[in-house]
Amino acid sequence: MNASPRFTKAIQPRLEVITLERLSDFVSPEWGPWGTQIEITQSRLDAFAEVTGDRQFIHLDPVAAKAAGYRGTIAHGALLLSLLAVMRSPHFDVGPGIAVKNVEGEYQFLRPVYTGESVHARERMKEVKVERGGNFRVTFEYEIHVVGGKKAASGTLVLFYCNPKPQEIQ
């Protein structure tokens, strides 16, 4: 089977951060670097449709998508959001023993992403808060862009980290 590469560049190394004091150092108004680029292929859209059951013609049928006014098939919005886990250029790695407890977010889609286009994302850390039990909440702002083009989506992502050893977080 002749498969195309999954990503166009390697995932960046991550900085391990386990204390709130170090984590707060990453709060910044500046955007971080662009993360991993991912090509949106028809086979990726087909696989996502199979898993989710979202088989709208604008994602699967190029002829019908063109008849509806698009240049071709477009990525599912939920696919773009799910790819954030790979596209982001993380500021840190929470290290062993600390797990994501819950995630919430807000987002908006600004333009379609067509098959054949590549996307990447960047983020900035907006806030770190200590939660009950030594857990912490980190708010990121993110942007997803077509590589070399316009912003396709943006929003906020809030990650709740559960520390099984609360004494390590001051």
Annotated domain spans of the chain? 20-168
User: In three state form, how does the secondary structure of 108-137 look?
Assistant: EECCCCECCCEEEEEEEEEEEEECHHHCEE
Residue 97 reports pLDDT greater than 70: no
Question: Which string of b and e fits 33-55 if b means at least 16 CB within 10 Å?
Answer: ebbbebbbeeebbeebbeeeeee
Structural tokens at position 59: 């994602």
Residue 92 pLDDT: 64
Which residue's structure tokens are 């960046």?
Answer: 12
The model's pLDDT over 73-84, given as tens digits with 9 standing for 90+, comes to 999 999 999 999
Q: State the CATH class of domain 20-168.
A: alpha beta
Are 144 and 101 contacting, i.e. CB atoms less than 8 angstroms apart? no
